[in-house]
A = this chain, B = another copy of it.
């Protein structure tokens, strides 16, 4: 075990925290996935992100809109109202808001004061996801939601889903940054039992990447079946990359050195894990998985079934950890040790710590 000395040791979710309490550890000047595009329609939708209520809807031209879901008159959730054209009508007393957040009508008076407005959150729709900027709108151009090209690439088979998980979002980040948990948490579902070494870890700007090569081995059943390699020994590279607090992408690249002519010799598998805080102890989890090859309906169903079973195992474990952090009076003051396979998590904590410090000093 390397002994890491870094801020956040003993405080795994971006600490240190006074008196061992869990507090908000999410940067605000950040793009987060707020919804999948098909969730947002002409029916206003409420979604809490980073402790804030947000109302989401689409303009008539389809552009998504996100406003503070709290009328500045009597604090009704605007999501209980309805649309008239591109404007949102409060369902309590009828104040009407433009997609830019400014109030444009107060039923019982002619004048509309400029302070009658709600915050309008910058949004970007990219592929199946809609991203929200939760910080100062003036800074929203400083970064961009990352492009994840395989999601919409021709020839790729993709599937995805959503879960609310009752834990701090960094617990899930750390879960996907250390895949040695496969042999324990998922030993009966994904059945990847050889992820037992600490991978190489590389830091590139704000990104943290791990990578590990496996010599030709018989693949776990779900991968053998989906790739068509079956029980043949196939080499693979397994990697993961935290792009930001909001997004992690990962993959496996398979290569069969003994493929017959005309047979497939490689295959690529990708996963996306998007982690959006709801509160310090709750998160939205959006995920997608993709193959660079066609899947039969049966293969797809099997893939989805296994993935959902595996992610339910993660959810169960992470929520149990959150209970310990919350209910055990030692909370975040409980001893925490770092091991070899934590190098990527530790680097991601460092990145988060820097981002939070920077935000605080602005």
Q: Is the CB of A180 within 8 A of B52?
A: no
Contact A70 to B184, CB < 8 A, known contacts A80-B317, A198-B109, A317-B92: no
Contact code string A271-304 (vs B, CB < 8 Å = 1, else 0): 0000000000000000000000000000000000
Q: Could you tell me how many residues of chain A have their Cβ less than 8 Å away from some Cβ of chain B? A: 60
1/0 per residue, CB under 8 A from B, across A313-327: the answer is 000010011011101
Q: In the bound complex, do residue B317 and residue A197 qualify as a contact, i.e. CB atoms below 8 Å apart?
A: no
A142 at the interface (CB under 8 A from B): no
- Asked, given contacts A93-B178, A93-B180, A328-B70, whether A106 binds B320 with beta carbons under 8 Å apart, the answer is no
- Is the pair A108, B75 in contact by a Cβ cutoff of 8 Å? no
Select the stretch in A31-39, A131-139, A258-266, A331-339 that faces chain B.
A331-339
Question: Which residues in chain A, 180-196, are within 8 Å of chain B measured between CB atoms?
Answer: 180-181, 183-185, 196
Q: In the docked arrangement, what's the CA distance between A323 and B106, Å?
A: 24
Give 16 pairs: A residue, B residue, CB < 8 Å, sorted on A. A3-B113, A51-B328, A53-B328, A69-B324, A72-B337, A76-B321, A77-B320, A91-B317, A92-B321, A93-B180, A93-B341, A94-B184, A95-B339, A107-B196, A109-B339, A113-B337
